[in-house]
Structure 1
Amino acid sequence: MSPSAAPASLADDLALALRLADAADAESMGRFDRPDLEIGQKADRSHVTAADLAAERAIREIIAADRPDDAIFGEEYGTTSSAARRWIVDPIDGTANYLRGVPAWGTMIALEIDGVVSAGVVSMPAMGRRWWAASGMGAWTLAGGEPRTIAVSGVDRLDEASLSFQSIAQWRDAGHLDALLTLQERVWRDRAYGDVWSYMLLAEGRVDIVGEFDVKEYDIAAAAAIVREAGGRFTSFEGSDSLDTLSALATNGLLHDATLDALHGRTP
């Protein structure tokens, strides 16, 4: 931080994160469902669109102007530097949906301070929805009208729980398809809502368990901040609080230990 700059409060950081989401929404919605959308392919054969790139550039430009000493870790342009404060950005989570004109995609913006994700914003403009949270400030959503607080469900039995597993291929490729099928047999219902929307449904109390694999920090950091502040738990498949393990398991908290036991074949 430059000597003349005053430390930003977490409320200031959250306000900035919401402004970053506004800028990203403008870029992504301006290109959404357009027949002339430019679509490319990365080295890992996943898709990237002109909207992914433009949205992340817009976010980076604002951070560079308003928080020049902060680091940025984005899906499309990587890490710019190392610092105690790091913005973690996925400009469009759900690019496969985006390029097909399916509205279930969103921008994810998180702020990590001294290794702890302290604030997060998820914006899904094609669905007219936004969620945000910061440590000690609660979790919130906006869907027209006034912002309102959100909280996870009070479901405390697996046989009453709703599970979103993201995709069978993820679990199969990670070598845990049998674990998923075991859990699926114990819950009330299962669906694959997909990508960041699953976690937001969890934070609102509409889904109780979400699990997936092959995820980077930018895929889950903002969601983790919101789920945790809404009263849920967010760990890896193994139960670690770290977000860099390439797996994620989120629950309403009440079901977390039972879910881990079921997935790992343990008797409670």
Structure 2
Amino acid sequence: MNIRVIADSSSNIFRFDGLDYHAVPLKIIFNGLEYPDVESLNAPALMHRIHESGGATSTSCPSIGDWMDAMEGADRILCMTISGQLSGAYNAALNAAVEYMDEHPGTQVHVVDSLSTGPEIRLGLERLKQDIEKEIPFDELSARLHRYFSGVHILFSLESLTNLSRGGRVSSAVAKIAGMIGLQFVGAGSAEGTIQMVGKCRGANRTRKLLLDTMSETGFDGGKVRISHCDNPTGAAALADAIRKVFRNCDVSIDECAGICSYYADLGGLIVAYETNTL
């Protein structure tokens, strides 16, 4: 039996070579219109439109039906979601798993809360592919993935906190101050799957230094680094170069944020995930 892997679109990944892979879209709601986070969405263009119009925005998670559609036809399924502290995607996937197994006796569906988003889910998918290729038993994959995530960290470099405040992820007062004084904020994913502030900086050089210092303090000494950016390829490349100069034996790659990560990272934002062990 084949193993199907499903992730929500916060992974920024819509195709994954070597996996039976499906992506389930979250949605951005702007001026009453719904924009599914699919591969064809021009996320930077949408973010520029949102900034220019100042219209009302929000987001929504995949429905139970969305998850079940992605499961259809598979016998063994592993789902990976954005942090359950940031979205209802995890709960929807759990409910879909129960319904799917009830409707398809003998199937197995496991759901993993990444407690994170974006490039950390990418690292999880890379590790999952390795385990599947090693023919690790399906029943062991979820536990191995949880152990792996315990040694992965995620950082955020954000030029705007507006959309995070709209979603209740940071206070509106903090977001307003950030916009007024032009600071960049560096945040980190917590063990509980929330975003915690690490510090604030003025200027790209100081922000990169804080990111590098935080990586070192949390145990990074070489290994995999995945960087996602929202319409900021120059900033992402500069950070990748700085990481390679400071740390040896790095495997650093860059991709673009898809819709939901672009919405929360906002224009200019960077999201960085990195390994501190490879359990």
Answer 1 or 2: which has greater helix percent: 2
Q: TM-score, normalised by structure 1?
A: 0.29
Q: TM-score, normalised by structure 2?
A: 0.28
Q: Which has the higher contact order (CA 8 A, sep 6+)?
A: 2
